[in-house]
Amino acid sequence: MKPSRLLPLLVACSPFFSIGLHAEEPAKAPVNPAYVWDLGLIYKDEAAYKDAKAKLSASLPKLATFKGHLGDSPAKLLEAMDAIYDAYKLNIRLNSYASQKLDENLSDSPAMERSQEIDMVGTELSQAISYMSPELIAIGEKKIREFIAAEPKLKPYTFPLMETLRMAPHTLGAEAEQVMSSTSMISDAPQALYGILSSADIQWPTIKLSDGTDARLSQAGYTKYRAINNRQDREAVFKAFWGKFKEYERTFGVSLFSSIKGDWFRASVRKHPSSLAATLSNGNVPESVYRTLVAETNANLPTLHRYFKLRGRMLGIPELRYWDIYPPIVKLEKDFPYEDAKKLLIDSAAPLGTEYVKTLTESLNGRYTHVYPQPGKRSGAYMNGSVYDVHPFVLTNYNNNYDAVTTLAHEWGHGGHSSLTNKHQPFATSDYSIFVAEIASTLNEALLLDHMLKIAKSDEERMYYLGSALEGLRGTFFRQAMFAEFELRTHEEVEKGGALSGSKLTQIYGDILRRYHGHDQGVMKIDDLVTVEWAYIPHFYRNFYVYQYATSISASQAFAEKILKGEKGAVETYLELLKAGGSDHPYELVKRAGVDLATPAPYRALVTRMNSIMDEIEKLLAKQGK
C-alpha cells in the first residue's frame, strides 16, 4: 500500500552530503570485532539469508490471491493484512542485510549482486500487491471501519488503512496503479546519471597547494581541502572544483530537469495541484509548513549575515568570498578516542532520564556500530532501525575528531528513536517519518553541545563548541532552507510549462545564493563560478526532502530548550513523540508534543538561539581583548 515501506528506513544523515556513493579512502583501522557491527544478528549466515529470500519469493503468489476478496469478511481482510505485512517485514530484513553487507565493502561483487537481486524481489512484491489501494478504496471507509470494529486484531492496521483511504482522490484504477508501480524501474534514471557522472566519469582536476601537496579535487578531495587554512589555496580549490562542474553544467542540467519533470509527471497523473503538494500529501504535512519555513528564513537573513560578519572578523578577512565559508572559526587540537565519545554521549543524554540512558548504553556497548573507515567501506554515516525484531544499527567513519563525536550522537539519536518506536508500536505503525526522524538526531546533538560547554576546560575550548554549533545551525537550517527554496522555484517553473537548462538552473540558484549570503549588502561576495553548486547537491534528486532538516532542527532546539530548563513534563512529552513512531501524521505528532511547525515561533526561536550563541562568542572575544 505504501511502497515506501518496502525499503529499510536508512536515515541518511548528514544534510551536507549524501550517504556516499563512493567508498571512503583507505585508512588504518583496528579490526577489533567490538568495533564492527554483527550482521549475524539479522541472518546468522548466508544460508539463512537465502532460505528467508526463498520464503519471501514463495509467498508472493499467495498475496495475489487476496485480489477481489479484501471485502469478503473481517477475517479475510485480516488474513490479507497479516500476509502483506509479513512480506513487508521480511523484505525489509533481507534488504537491510544485503545493503549493510554491501556497505562494508562496496567493491565486493557478490554483495553487489545480492543487493540487486533483493531489489528485484522488492519490485515484484510491490507489483504483487498493487491492487490493494484501489480495492480498499472501492470497499470504502464505512465497511472497513465496521470490519475493524468486528475484528480487534485489525486494530493495529487502522492507521495504514485510513491512510490508503485518505489517498483516494490521488489513487488510480488497478490497471493504472500497476503501470505506475512499474515506472519505478525507470524513474531513477536521472539520479543514477547524476551518481555515475559525479562520482565516476568526471576526470577530477589535481592542483598543487602552496605547501607542495598535490590535491586531487574529487568530491571527497573537495570536502577535505575546502576548509584548509591558506586562503589562496582555498580559492584555487573552489575554482578548480566548480570549474569542473561548470564544464558539465549542460549534462547535469538535463539530468536535474528530467528528475523535476518526473516529479511533476507523477504528481499530475495523481491529480495533485503541484509537485510540492504531492510530496507533502504523503505524510499529510500542511503546505503552510514549507511556506512558513521559507518565509521565516528570508525574514531572518540578517542573523545569517551577522554570523558571516563574525566569521570574517574571527578569520581576519574583511571581504568574504564563498571559499571562506568552511574553515572553522576556532580550532581545537583535541583527540576524541571512540571510547571517550561513547562516554560523552551517555553522559550528555542524562537529561532524557535513566530509561533512555540505559537503552543508549546498551546500544553503544553492543555490536551495533560499524565504527571505523576501512578500504571499500561506504563513506558518511547512517542509522538503520527498520529491522523490527533486531536492534538498530549505525554505520560511521569515526576519525577521532569532534565532528565524529557529533555524528555519533546524531546517529544514535536516530537509534534511540527506533528502539523506542519498535518497543512501543506494532510493526504496522513503526515506520516513523523523516519529518520526525531528524528531530531525534539533532536533539541529541543539542544535548551533547550543552554537555561539552559544561565540561569545557578553557574559554578556547568553549568557543570551539559554540563555533561548531553555529556552523551546524547554518548548515542544517539556513543552507537547507535555501535548498528548499531552490526546489520550490525550479518545480514551479516546470509546472507552468517552463524549461530548465543548466544555465537557467545556475541563474536561479545564483539569485538565491546571493540573497542568502548578502552579496548585495557586501556581506559575502558570490562569484559567478560557484553558482553552479546546484549541480553537486545529490538531495535535489529526492524531491522536497531537505526542508525537513530545517524544520527538524527548529523543533529539536525547541524541545532541547524545554528539556534542559527542566520544564515539567518536557522529557515525557518528548519521549512520547519518539514512542509514537508512525502511528499518526508526523506534523500532528510534533504539534501534539508542543511545537507547531506551521507557525513562525519555532523558526524564530532557532534564530534567537543562534544570536545568543553569537553574543556569547563576542563576550569571550571581548574578554580576550579581540
Q: Hey, is 53 helix, strand or coil? A: helix
How far is the C-alpha of 138 from the C-alpha of 160, rounded, in Å? 16
Residue type, 488: L
Residue placing its CB nearer to Zn ion in the complex, 198 or 441: 441
Smallest separation, CB 11 to Zn ion (Å): 5
Residue 442 beta carbon to Zn ion: minimum distance, rounded to whole angstroms: 8
Q: Which residue's CB is nearer to Zn ion, number 370 or number 491?
A: 370
Residue range at the interface with Zn ion (CB under 5 A); choices 11-19, 125-133, 140-148, 156-164: 11-19
Locate 395 and state its grid cell: 554505520
Question: Stretches 8-16, 106-114, 354-362, 517-525: which one binds Zn ion (CB under 5 A)?
Answer: 8-16
Q: For residue 432, which of 594, 570, 558, 552 has the smallest C-alpha distance?
A: 552
Verify binding: residue 441, Zn ion, rule CB under 5 A: yes
Residue nearest to Zn ion (CB): 13
Binding piece for Zn ion, criterion CB under 5 A, among 364-372, 434-442, 462-470, 483-491: 434-442
Of residues 411, 438, 445, 495, which has the active-site annotation?
Answer: 411
- Between residues 100 and 441, which has the closer beta carbon with respect to Zn ion? 441
CB of 163 to Zn ion, least distance (A): 24
The set of cell numbers assigned to 194 is 547524476
Instruction: Report the alpha-carbon distance of residue 501 to residue 535 in Å, rounded.
Output: 12
Options 205-213, 228-236, 269-277, 435-443: segment touching Zn ion (CB under 5 A): 435-443
For Zn ion, give the closer residue by CB, 164 or 441.
Answer: 441
HEC string of 356-374 equals HHHHHHHHHHCCCEECCCC
Q: Of 241 and 574, which has the nearer Cβ to Zn ion?
A: 574
Helix (H) or strand (E) holding 613: helix 601-623
Contact 606, 557 (CB under 8 A): yes
Residue number, 352 or 408, with CB nearest to Zn ion: 408
Binding to Zn ion by residue 18, rule CB under 5 A?
Answer: no
Output phi, psi for 374, to 5 deg: -155, 160
Terminal Cα-to-Cα distance of the chain (whole angstroms): 61
Q: Does 95 bind Zn ion (CB under 5 A)?
A: no
Burial letters 76-110, b for 16+ CB under 10 A, else e: ebbbbbebbbebbbbbbbbbbbbbbbbbbbbeeee
Nearest to 386 by CA among 1, 3, 11, 2: 11
- Nearest approach in angstroms of CB 414 to Zn ion is 6
> How far, CA to CA in Å, does 532 sit from each of 23, 197, 253, 510, 535?
25, 15, 10, 8, 6
495 catalytically annotated? no
Closer residue to Zn ion, CB minimum distance, 329 or 439: 439
13 binds Zn ion (CB under 5 A): yes
125 vs 481 by CB, closer to Zn ion: 481
State the minimum distance, in angstroms, from the CB of residue 467 to Zn ion: 21
Q: Is 440:416 a contact under the CB 8 Å cutoff?
A: yes
Q: Which stretch binds Zn ion (CB under 5 A): 9-17, 214-222, 359-367, 575-583?
A: 9-17
Q: Is 237 or 606 the residue whose CB approaches Zn ion more closely?
A: 606
Name which of 409, 548, 383 is nearest 465 in CA terms. Answer: 409
C-alpha cell at 502: 543548466
Cβ 407 to Zn ion, closest distance in Å? 9
Measured CA distances, 507 to 240, 249, 504, 616 (Å): 20, 12, 5, 38
| Smallest gap from residue 435 Cβ to Zn ion (A) | 12
Q: How far is the CB of 588 from Zn ion (least distance, A)?
A: 21
Q: Is 235 helix (H, G, I), strand (E, B) or coil?
A: helix
Distance CA(614)–CA(310), nearest Å, equals 8
Ramachandran category for residue 204: left, alpha or beta (phi over 0 → left; psi -120 to 50 → alpha) = beta
Q: Which stretch binds Zn ion (CB under 5 A): 180-188, 258-266, 439-447, 465-473?
A: 439-447
By the criterion CB under 5 A, which residues form the site for Zn ion? 11, 13, 441
Residue positions annotated with a catalytic role: 411
